[in-house]
Amino acid sequence: MKNLFLTIVSFVFCSLIFVSCASSEEITREECKALGLEFKKEKVLNYRTGKYEIRSFCKEN
């Protein structure tokens, strides 16, 4: 019973972490507009994987 409880708690905890880390580009775009900043996308190299990824950020005009 204790093992099942620990498994369920671990699963819920991991699920919350992954849900909170999921980012929405629309939210970022809206936040940039609200702050009066420009939304930019940039292709950057991920050194761990060796692949290029798209990074989005707010930039001053």
The residue extents of the domains of the chain are 24-61
| Cβ 58 vs Cβ 37: under 8 Å | yes
What does the block give as tokens for 3?
């093992």
What is the predicted pLDDT for the residue at 49?
93
pLDDT confidence of 28, banded at 50, 70, 90?
confident
Using DSSP's 3-state secondary structure scheme, residue 36 falls into coil
What is the predicted pLDDT for the residue at 43?
95
For range 27-47, the mean pLDDT: 90
Q: How far apart are the first and last CA of the chain?
A: 58
